[in-house]
Amino acid sequence: MGILDPWAGFGITLNTIFRKPFTQGYPQKGKEKVTMPRFHGRHQLNRWPDGLEKCVGCELCAWACPADAIYVEGADNTDDQRFSPGERYGHVYQINYLRCIFCGLCIEACPTRALTMTNEFKLADTSRSSLIYEKQDLLAPLVPGMEQPPHPRRLGEGEKDYFLGLPSTGQPDTRTAAPSRGVTP
């Protein structure tokens, strides 16, 4: 151990102590922070191209969550009230962002790719109850060509048409959704 080793640490401290922090003036001035493409932000419940929900209420995401932040209650679809192409759908879906550690294990557990994570990172709020997101807060917005559930299957007769096939156009869906729920400071 050399005699200058402690002074090298002080040099790093002095270098960073006078550096301008990123948060100075945020969010009033400057650009929005750009996140990396694989950033783990707010969750989103996805839809099929006809508007039906991808969530089948299997509760695997809730079982995989180490922080116990997800609550799912499944219900059965009927011919009159169809919310997903499968036999079941997520009737109640809640994510408690006071508990969530943004680990992504829920995403890995989802068999239908119904749950994904967006790049939205502004989740701060002034009340605890507003940080418990309900199903309507998490659902992806409807884009042109989608129909609000409940409605019959539009992409085929059975679940297999949805899970293994393409939309009736034969081309993958390339539409993009509008920005979802935003929190104002």
DSSP E strands: which ranges in 56-172? Answer: 70-76, 88-96, 115-117, 132-133
Say whether 100 counts as a known binding-site residue: yes
For 163, counting Cβ atoms within 10 Å of its Cβ (0-12 exposed, 13-18 middle, 19+ buried), the class is middle
* Residue 65 annotated in ligand binding: yes
What is the C-alpha R_g of the chain? 22
Q: Is 60 annotated as a binding residue?
A: no
Does the annotation flag 55 for ligand binding? yes
Check the annotation: does 20 bind a ligand.
Answer: no
Q: Which residues contact 15 (CB under 8 A, 6 or more apart)?
A: none
Tell whether residue 103 is among the known ligand binding residues.
Answer: yes
In angstroms, the CA 17 to CA 8 distance is: 14
Q: Is 110 annotated as a binding residue?
A: yes
Report cis status (omega within 30 of 0) of the bond before 167. no
Residue list, annotated binding site for [4Fe-4S] cluster: 55, 58, 61, 65, 100, 103, 106, 110
